[in-house]
Structure 1
Amino acid sequence: MSTLIEDNPAKNRFEILVDDALAGFTAYVPRGEVLVFTHTEVDPGFQGKGVASALIKGTLDEIRTRGVRLVPQCPFVAAYIDKHPEYADLVAEQP
């Protein structure tokens, strides 16, 4: 199984492709140097296979590379960061 995670700025989301099929996405709203993640969705055919976790990990790694921050409004993104505190430094301070 090959996976690819890529940003789709036209749709404001990071997508995960599994064997060239769109398996899921995590949507964001750009606010300057901060991305507000609002929703994560995985196609039912790919649920229970770690696709969502792989998607969030790849997305957070890309955010770190870009040097931007995020606000995890999506419960799945927030829970992933709670379980993986090495990404906590990417969370922007809330006003």
Structure 2
Amino acid sequence: MEIKQGNHTFFIGEEDNPLAEISFIPGEGNEIIVDHTVVSEELQGQGVAGQLVERLVQYAREEGLKIKPLCSYAQKKLENTPEYQDVLI
């Protein structure tokens, strides 16, 4: 499954009608704020949301950014994954 980058999103499917998506907004300084993660019913239970968080973490590292999760799923995933601690605010 290909994860594509959109305008402040990473998604699967089409940008205007994604099957799964994680979205973020720029924060202060070098932070991005994750505000939403959604996975369609047909993709649920396949680890897709975790893959979206992983892609966001990769992006944050590439860009020298920190992630502030407001989305409850992203917050739990980031806090409970030791290898993501370097980008978590």
Structure-1 residue corresponding to 2:3: 5
Partner residue of 1:39 out of 36, 45, 64: 36
- In structure 2, distance between residues paired with 1:65 and 1:35: 13
CA drift of 1:7 comes to: 2.2
Aligned residues: 85
CA drift of 1:13 comes to: 1.4
> Residues 1-95 of structure 1 correspond to what in structure 2 (within 5 A)?
3-9=1-7, 12-17=8-13, 22-31=18-27, 32-92=29-89
- In structure 2, distance between residues paired with 1:39 and 1:57: 15
Deviations 1:21-80 (A, max 9, x none): 943011111124211001100011100111111111122112111111110111111111
CA drift of 1:81 comes to: 1.1
Instruction: Name the aligned partner's letter for residue 15 of structure 1.
Output: F
The TM-score, its normalising length taken from structure 2, stands at 0.82
The TM-score, its normalising length taken from structure 1, stands at 0.78
CA drift of 1:82 comes to: 2.0
Runs of 4 or more above 3 Å deviation: none
28 and 15 in structure 1: CA distance in 2 versus 1, 3 angstrom threshold: same
**Is the Cα–Cα contact under 8 Å of residues 23 and 51 in structure 1 kept in the other structure?**
no
